[in-house]
Amino acid sequence: MRPLQGVRVLDLTRLLPGPFCSLMLADLGADVIKIEDLALGDYMRQSEPMVTATQSIQFMALNRNKRSLKLSLRPKEGKAVFARLVEQADVVLDGFRPGRLDKLGVGYAAMSALHPRIIYAAISGYGQDGPYRDRAGHDLNYLARAGVLDLFGARGGDPVVLPLQVADLTGAYLGAIGVLAAIIGRATSGRGQFVDISMMDGVLPWLPMVLPQFLHDRRRVQRGETALGGGMASYNVYRCADGEWLALGALEPQFWATFCKLIGREDLIDLRLATGAAAEPAFEALRALFRTKPRAEWLAFFGDADVCVDPVQTLAEAVEDPHLRARGMFADVAYPHGTVTQIATPIKLSGSPQPRLEPSPESGEHTEAILREAGYDDDALAELRAKKVIE
């Protein structure tokens, strides 16, 4: 039995943060019902590259193990359907701007009055209050406003746009944690609650090595000069003779000392934590040293020594990495047109089997089955179709 088996989630979200949150819950056994409107549904369905006429590769990756219900929340009949679904659910995921569901009459206040045990988790850019609550934004905006984007990049260089969505995915993880905390809390209180997740808020805790110091002394933090952000020679990347790169993470004294002895530069041992001008001799020595051999030779040279040296692998190399393969981090999901390889869940639980991966749903694929579970018969379904509440 999977740990969230028996938990039902009504997922009203689109694109990345909310669907990634519900993906984690679905992989852990929750019955996630993806509620899509009668028009476009989740925009990620049509995000290139397309695998089929109705699903992109990104949509497939984010929406496995879920069921899809097409429902219009605008007519009163649609609101009534949603209220009945809420009665049988544990969690509602909201990815709209603050107040949108309240305006539709299906927000937390209205639904919790009917069903006090329901949990609403809202993942938004700036949270449910504050001067930015109604601003539009994306991952880059949240990182920029939070002061995080300013720290990404080389010393003296421009800010760097990252290829991963830090704020979006942080919002997803925090949303899942908030949901699980609310479920545990409900076991004692008997009541659900509203979980307010701001993606801008969420990126600040990623700076525990930088922000507390700034709050203490208010000294400007320069891009590329923080201890773990490019400022130390013992924790950096180096180009090899063949143009490939190595990552050196010899932070602890024993790792750095072993590394320095292996390369014959014991004179650098005292520069382990040096930053700024004091670190330049170590930087100059290591940059020159690593350029003398290709990456493969350096990896063979260090072998199994405890020096924290690893190759900066391309994605092509990483997906074939024997450790990731041994950990089962890639899985094939069977679709009618063939198999699609996806990232497997990184959560390993000793008492639960690895989840069986079901393909992402077609839009509205499970509408009738879900509504029949909620007690709607043939006549009621026909009436909802006639009124364009469902398809």
- What is the DSSP track for 187-250? HHHS---EEEEEHHHHHGGG-TTTHHHHHHH-PPPPTT-SIIIII-TTEEEEE-TTS-EEEEE-
Determine the Cα–Cα distance for residues 322 and 115; give it in Å rounded to an integer: 49
Has residue 211 been placed in a domain?
no
Tokens 């932070």, residue located? 251
Tokens 């609403």, residue located? 120
Please work out, in degrees rounded to the nearest 5, the angle formed at the alpha carbon of residue 373 by the alpha carbons of 367 and 375. 105
48 plus 184 within the same structural domain:
yes
- Say which of 139, 168, 196, 201 is annotated catalytic: 168
Has residue 213 been placed in a domain?
no
Q: Is 168 a catalytic residue?
A: yes
170 plus 43 within the same structural domain:
yes
Determine the Cα–Cα distance for residues 200 and 213; give it in Å rounded to an integer: 20
- Say which of 37, 115, 138, 150 is annotated catalytic: 138
33 plus 168 within the same structural domain:
yes
Distance, CA of 87 to chain centre: 29
Q: What is the pLDDT of residue 353?
A: 82
User: What is the signed CA dihedral for 265, 270, 274, 279, rounded to 10 degrees?
Assistant: -30
Determine the Cα–Cα distance for residues 386 and 272; give it in Å rounded to an integer: 72
284 plus 368 within the same structural domain:
no
Domain that holds residue 156: 8-205+327-386
Q: Is 366 a catalytic residue?
A: no
Q: How would you write the pLDDT of the chain (391 residues) with one tens digit per residue?
A: 889 999 999 999 999 999 999 999 999 999 999 999 999 899 999 999 999 999 999 999 999 999 999 999 999 999 999 999 999 999 999 999 999 999 999 999 999 999 999 999 999 999 999 999 999 999 999 999 999 999 999 999 999 999 999 999 999 999 999 999 999 999 999 999 999 999 999 999 999 999 999 999 999 999 999 999 999 999 999 999 999 999 999 999 999 999 999 999 999 999 999 999 999 999 999 999 999 999 999 999 999 999 999 999 999 999 999 999 999 999 999 999 999 999 999 999 999 987 789 999 999 999 999 999 999 999 999 999 999 999 9
How many domains are there within the chain? 2
Has residue 98 been placed in a domain?
yes
Determine the Cα–Cα distance for residues 357 and 99; give it in Å rounded to an integer: 34
Q: What is the pLDDT of residue 354?
A: 79
Q: What is the pLDDT of residue 24?
A: 98
Has residue 221 been placed in a domain?
no
Angle, helices 17-27/166-189, rounded to nearest 10 degrees:
50
Q: What is the pLDDT of residue 382?
A: 98
Q: What is the pLDDT of residue 271?
A: 98
Has residue 218 been placed in a domain?
no
Has residue 317 been placed in a domain?
no
Q: For the chain, how many helices (H) and strands (E)?
A: 16, 11
152 plus 17 within the same structural domain:
yes
Has residue 73 been placed in a domain?
yes
234 plus 151 within the same structural domain:
no
288 plus 184 within the same structural domain:
no
Beta bridge partners of 66: 32
> What is the domain-level CATH number for residue 34?
3.40.50.10540
Q: What is the pLDDT of residue 42?
A: 96
Preceding amide of 163 cis, omega within 30: no
29 plus 145 within the same structural domain:
yes
68 touches 78 (CB < 8 A): no
Determine the Cα–Cα distance for residues 235 and 292; give it in Å rounded to an integer: 20
